[in-house]
Structure 1
Amino acid sequence: MGYETWVQEHATAHKKIIDKLLQQGYDKEQIIDYFDFENMKEKESDFCPLYAKNKKCHDMEELNCYLCSCPNFRFNDKGIKKIDNKTQFSYCSIESKDGRQGIYGEKIHQDCSGCTVPHHRAYVQKHFDLDWAKIMQVCKV
């Protein structure tokens, strides 16, 4: 599955949860709280395959899942540029010191596994929009 397909599918799943919470009268802060890892693995077990394994995508105590994927991530499924006969498909727009470019055969992809930026509550509050797809629209280049 390419990045674009994943983003579209995830946006649909995210919207389903948001619509449910809005129908229940949740406000912004309650919605952000709802997306806490511990709550999500219990109440939205199908949202992330890691929930079934009780495993976090990043090693941090308070992980918020609202921005599953990062607004600083940039991608193009057709490739962005060639680097040493390899095709780069993604990168970090802020060049996070905790991220890196992974080389997988002839492909280069951003490896965000060491970066926790989008999973902190303060970051989610700063970039919050009920429409996750709207937040992520900057990612496709």
Structure 2
Amino acid sequence: MSYGEWFEQHADKHKKIVDKLVSRGYTKEQILEYFEFENMVKAESDFCPLYKDNKKCHDMGELNCYLCACPKFRFDDKGIEKVDNKTKYSFCAIESKDGEQGVYGDKIHQNCSKCTVPHHKEYVQKKFDLDFREIMRECSL
């Protein structure tokens, strides 16, 4: 699955949940609480493939799943640039010290597995919008 395909599928799943919560009168704070990992595993088991194993994507205590992806992630499914005969497809716009470029054969992808920034509730509160696509509007190049 390409980045773009994942992004669109995830945005649709996110919107469905958010629309349901808004229709029930949830406030911003209640929506953020709903998206806490422990609740999402029970209430929205199809939102993330890791939920079926009750596994977090990052080793951290309180993990909020509202963003799932980071607004600072940049991607282009056609490739961004050539680096040493390899094609770079993604990178971190802020060059997080917890991220790295992973080389996989002739492809270079951003590895965010050690970066927990978008899963902290405080960060999500700063970036909050009911529309996932709006929060992530700069990700696709």
Task: Decide: shared fold, TM above 0.5.
Answer: yes
1:137 Cα offset (Å):
1.2
User: Residue 30 of structure 2 aligns with which residue?
Assistant: 30
User: Residue 109 of structure 2 aligns with which residue?
Assistant: 109
The secondary structure found in structure 1 opposite 2:103 is strand
Answer yes or no: is 1:61 the counterpart of 2:100. Answer: no
- Aligned positions, number: 141
User: Residue 4 of structure 2 aligns with which residue?
Assistant: 4
The secondary structure found in structure 1 opposite 2:7 is helix
> TM-score, structure 2 length as denominator?
0.99
Q: Which whole-Å CA distance do the structure 2 matches of 1:52 and 1:96 have between them?
A: 29
Q: Which whole-Å CA distance do the structure 1 matches of 2:34 and 2:14 have between them?
A: 12
User: Residue 71 of structure 2 aligns with which residue?
Assistant: 71
Q: Which whole-Å CA distance do the structure 2 matches of 1:5 and 1:56 have between them?
A: 22
Answer yes or no: is 1:49 the counterpart of 2:70. Answer: no
Answer yes or no: is 1:133 the counterpart of 2:133. Answer: yes
Equivalent positions of 1:93-104 (< 5 A) are: 93-104=93-104
The runs of 4+ residues in structure 1 deviating greater than 3 Å are none
Deviations 1:81-130 (A, max 9, x none): 00000000000001000000000000000000000000000000000000
Deviations 1:5-25 (A, max 9, x none): 100000000000001001110
Aligned-partner residue type, residue 67 of structure 1: L
> TM-score, structure 1 length as denominator?
0.99
Q: Which whole-Å CA distance do the structure 2 matches of 1:96 and 1:105 have between them?
A: 23
Unpaired segments ≥5 residues, structure 2: none
Aligned-partner residue type, residue 30 of structure 1: Q
User: Residue 90 of structure 2 aligns with which residue?
Assistant: 90
The secondary structure found in structure 2 opposite 1:56 is coil
User: Residue 81 of structure 1 aligns with which residue?
Assistant: 81
Aligned-partner residue type, residue 95 of structure 1: E
Question: Percent identical across equivalent pairs?
Answer: 67
